[in-house]
Amino acid sequence: MLSSIIAISLLNACQLTSTEDIVESIDDNISQDQYIEPEVANTVVASDKPIVAIINTEAIFENVYRREVLRYEAALEKSALASARLEEYSFDVLEQLISSKLISQAAREQGLKVTRQQVDTAYADSISARGGQAGFDKWLEENIYTESEFQNYLEEQLLAAKIQEVVLSNVGIYAEQVHARHIVVATREQAEDLAGEIVAGADFATIAALHSLDRSTRLNGGDLGWFPKGLLTTPVLEAEAFVLDPGEVGGIVETEIGFHIIQTMDHDSQRELTPNAAVVVKRTELEKWLTDLRGRAVIERFVQ
């Protein structure tokens, strides 16, 4: 729940919804007069309440920030991260609120709207998902939400879901992909020795099975399978795979886990994505979009 307030960059599977995926059940065919006009602080002097940040002239008030910190702390209490220090997560909370504000602003700029009926339907779905009003009231208390705060949260999520559709409208089921394999060892010297053996004619798959430290791939000869950009957890290795020609072995690539020898086996400019890869491509596109929003925004922070 805490991370979902960001709505785009931190949600797995690129679904910008509340916990119960309530957005999917909303009927969009609502009349214009039911549109909820968002509350926007047009100037920094619109209120005398303390402010923790200003994003493109729109304020994040201290009381909103403090409530979000409390929710974060409540979530930490339920997890193995309860020992985290305030200064270690208060920054993250503020950045989440900033991202949420930027997303809402971008949605409004696109002319996207959320209706009162949509929020009411989402709210009713949340009550139902928790077994009725009593269970929902308990959940609100445990997660430090008033009814009004949670309705505002739902409105943000619904608006974020709409802008997500716009951002991902040009993302299809095909993407540039490579099929590659690799060997990872502990030292550069060993990597250079093994690379020399491969260049001299040794079988790459056999070398991988004998020497690679990557247990997940060494038994199949280091095969990483097909993947689009953004799928590998080691971007520098991925970048090397995409610049190599099919059959070419790259230079030694150093990462946090060791020294890699990588070979691109095939390259396809338009290959159908697996469901898992499609999620990664969408998430990458959303993260790029949010990074661009931040780069163009005027953001002032008044807390550390």
Residue 277 lies in a domain: no
In terms of Cβ atoms closer than 10 Å to its own Cβ (0-12, 13-18, 19+), residue 84 is middle
Number of domains in the chain: 2
47 and 119 co-located in one domain: yes
| DSSP single-letter state for residue 4 | G
CATH number for position 236: 3.10.50.40
Provide block-wise average pLDDT over 10 residues at a time, the chain (304 residues): 34 32 33 40 57 94 93 80 65 92 94 95 96 96 94 94 93 93 97 96 96 94 94 91 96 94 96 91 92 95 84
85 and 224 share one domain: no
The Cα 267–Cα 271 span in angstroms is: 9
Say if 60 falls within a structural domain. Answer: yes
- pTM higher than the cut 0.75: no
Domain range for 197: 175-272
pLDDT on residue 184: 97
CATH number at residue 159: 1.10.4030.10
Q: Identify which of 110, 136, 138 has the alpha carbon closest to the alpha carbon of residue 125.
A: 136
**162 and 265: one domain?**
no
